[in-house]
Structure 1
Amino acid sequence: MPLDTGRFLADLDTARRIGTYRTGVHRPTFSAEDMESRRWLAGRMAEAGLEATIDGIGNVFGRHPGPGPHLLAGSHIETQNHAGWLDGVLGVIGALELARAGLPVDVCAYADEEAHWGDFIGSRSLIGAFSDADIDAARNRHTGEPLRPKLEEVGLAGRPRITIDPTRYKGALEMHIEQGTQLENAGLRIGVVTGIVGIRQFRIIVTGQQDHTGGTTMRERKDAGLTAVRLLGMIDQEFPRVCAERSVWTTGRVALEPNAPMIIPGRAELVFSFRDLSSEVMDRMEDCLRRVVQESNRRERCPAVIEEIGRSEAALSDPAILAAFEGAAEALCPGAWQAMPSGAIHDSQILARVLPVGMLFVPSIGGISHHWAEDTKREDLVLGMAVLAEAARRLLA
């Protein structure tokens, strides 16, 4: 059956109205608005002839009842706080439209990709990598509320959790907004994702001496905040010598104690991360980071210690899926697409542990995402849908 792009856009608009915030959406995981959107989606899946289930961790899964071979397609439906209307849900409604067009596709909205309650709890659960002990340990990152009572509150406690059988699928597809400016700046309309970057995250603790800002001379001071600032300056100076063209790094947290205007900071905590598609490049960056901390300790009065607190490996796109996306893009928008890595992380990175995966990007206006002003031209949404469907047909042929 042909695609119905009007229906595809109408469903995106309907989802946008569940939790509307300005021109975006506020639909954090397991909020009332999020649960409403999951029930709405399950209804749309059932109308499409899929066997629809909301499982015990919140995944909304629509199983195609017909013969294979099958594809798995989807993304997430919850949002960051006060954020955009397309991040995640585009891939879910795109996957649903594949099924409505008659393709043998299982559709899934993977729960909590936005990490309100943990790291990829939905997709990890689907591949059997999120245990009951993980549920007990999970907390809301904003409030500290435990996950298990929340599941009971929203009516998910006691429901079985779905685990996928990898032998059912030829691969997993995910359409997403770019969340960057590469496509727009190049005047292109489609990005074929070559892989999803890995991330390494570290906590750096600088210890000084808390003291009075007036009575302590500059010669005597052990200012942890000042040492932390200089250390970050050294990182920013040294990383360009070892990074690759698309490497990025971020200090996402700087916390001073006691963080008072009349007290010299006695402690500084930094949370620092970097991303790249190449493990070799990230090894160089990690070695550089550790050498910078070592050099800081040689120079400074306040010692610093470094601890790794998170690591995810890069996931390369499957060659057959990559070829299908490239062929579809060239057929439908010749010369208006490019191959590119994903600098953001996605559920496909988790699914890649057990399935071949591939992703497709459409442009983000101004590169804006995780903000209510996030948007994409409607003609680019329609083109992305068409490329996704053509690639799926090629893979299933």
Structure 2
Amino acid sequence: MIAIRGDRLLDDLRTLARFGGLSPGVDRIAFSETDLVARRWLVDKLAAAGLEAGLDRVGNVLGRDPAAAKAILIGSHTDTVPRGGWLDGAMGVIFGLEIARAFRESGTSGPVGIDVASFQDEEGTYLPFLGSRSFCGTLRDGEIAAARAEDGATLTAALAPLADAPAPFRLDPARHVAFLEAHIEQGPRLEASGKKIGVVTGITGIRRFRVTATGAANHAGTTPMAMRRDAGAALVRIAAWIGEAFPGFAAAETVWNIGAMAFRPGAANVVPGEAEMAVEIRDLDVALLDRMEQALAERVAAENRGGVAVAMVRPTVVAPTPMDPSIVAALSAAAEAQGHAPVLLPSGAGHDAMELGRVLPAGMLFVPSIGGISHHVSENTADADIVLGCQVLADAIFRIMQKMS
């Protein structure tokens, strides 16, 4: 097996956290000055580890093993949400750096090497998964030109400082045999169970719905209840039905959410004439998602009564991405060999492995998030859990390589 150096791993993670560091937390938004400086720092670190490293014109960093014709790609992202944490994404990238160094220092050689990537804008400041989708060649015509941040800044302008960088790096099907991503869990399950390693079985699919109701605004004090065309009441009834009915459809890992609801004109003394809400469902099972969507559509249709028109559209559909069973097995065996029975669980959050997993065998490893907190300055994981996670990932990669030899 390959021994990683935990002290060096933690030093690099803490150095990376200084780029945009908030003490605690990190603010390293995609394409910001701190983001680009951090990416150039990473290029230097990868080069020092013996990889051919560069930054492309969409902001992706890639380090390639120059001695290998085939490679396992390890990666994640180093951009953050505003006032985010120091480990989200960054940990997976630095795991790749440390594992590449450890393999080189061990003198281990074979037909398969280690490549390392930091994909740009996973967090979606301008375009979610920009870097991994660019790398996989799945960006659609016009997406970059149309992409904007919440403040109206264009992705085209954000890319301008990289105009002289190399053309976008691309996944090489003849070279890249698998993708592995390590990540903090961003949830409470590992910590609650006392387990140190999570092995991801798949990344859930997402269905998002916009439900709208149109009635008639009127004086709330003078309009009899039986004569109201109350758009707000229609959506409240649907929301209550979701809470009562969805558990009957759901599997153990299904989650759903009503994340936004608005009434217009929005006054205590006015019957709502218009209302809308956002509903989301996540699960690995497409058939289950279909059943829940159909049930919701039928319930929405049933509310078209009493002079209120209710409609539903589905603006977002993300297909589930199962992880490769052989990689799941290798990660699980590596965790067991370290004395830690893993938790097998889906990822309810999207990751770069979702995009890579559509075109390559992929796997993900989780380490515990203290308090289940992420996307926040207090995001943290115990040092010992970080080091263990990196060693388990290195051991799993060694197992995968042995099977390929």
TM-score bracket, shorter-length normalisation: over 0.9
Q: 1:240 to 1:5 in 2, by over 3 A?
A: same
CA distance in 2, matches of 1:358, 1:293: 38
The question of whether the paired residues in 2 share the 8 Å contact of 1:151 and 1:157 is answered with no
- Unmatched tracts of structure 2, length 5 or more: 105-112
Give the residue type in structure 2 aligned to 1:138: A
User: Which of 206, 227, 241 in structure 1 is aligned with 2:248?
Assistant: 241
Q: Which residue of 1 aligns with 2:367?
A: 362
Residues 198, 276 of structure 1: 8 Å contact kept: yes
- Once the two structures are TM-superposed, the CA of residue 376 in structure 1 deviates from its matched residue by 0.7
2:338 counterpart letter in structure 1: L
Single out whichever of 197-206 and 215-224 deviates more from structure 2.
215-224
Partner-residue secondary structure (3-state), 1:369 = coil
Distance in 2 separating the partners of 1:7 and 1:191? 23
Q: Partner of 1:308 in structure 2? A: 314
Following superposition of structure 1 onto structure 2, how do residues 1-397 of structure 1 map, counting pairs within 5 Å? Answer: 2-102=3-103, 104-140=113-149, 142-152=150-160, 154-156=161-163, 159-261=166-268, 263-298=270-305, 301-335=307-341, 337-397=342-402
Q: Corresponding residue for 2:108?
A: none
Per-residue deviation, 1:68: 3.8
TM-score normalized by structure 2? Answer: 0.92
Superimposed CA distance per residue, residues 302-322 of structure 1 (whole angstroms, 9 cap, x where no aligned partner):
221111111111111112211
> Which residue identity lines up with residue 331 of structure 1 in the other structure?
A
Q: Which moved more, 1:203-212 or 1:307-316?
A: 203-212
Q: Take 2:20 and 2:11, find their aligned partners in 1: how far apart are those partners? A: 16
Farther-moved stretch of structure 1 (106-115 vs 20-29): 20-29
Structure 1 residues without counterparts, runs of 5 or longer: none
Q: Contact between 2:74 and 2:114, CA under 8 Å: does it hold in 1?
A: yes
Q: Distance in 2 between matches of 1:260 and 1:118?
A: 36
Relative to structure 1, is the Cα distance of residues 139 and 249 closer, same or farther in structure 2, using a 3 angstrom cutoff?
Answer: same
**Contact 1:242 1:288 survives alignment (8 Å):** no
* CA apart distance, 1:163: 1.2
Deviation at 1:392, TM superposition (A): 0.8
Distance 2:268 2:145 in 1: 39
How many Å apart are 1:242 and its aligned residue? 0.7
Contact 2:62–2:118 (8 Å) recurs in 1? yes
Question: In the aligned structure 1, how far is the partner of 2:18 from the partner of 2:228?
Answer: 55
- Asked if 1 retains the 8 angstrom alpha-carbon contact of 2:70 and 2:174, the reply is no
Note closer, same or farther for the CA distance 1:132–1:185 as it changes in structure 2 (3 Å cut).
same
The Cα shift of 1:323 comes to 1.5
Shift of 1:334: 3.7
How far apart in 1 are the matches of 2:326 and 2:268?
58
Distance 2:148 2:372 in 1: 31
Offset, 1:157 = 6.7
Name the SS for the 2:131 alignment partner.
Answer: helix
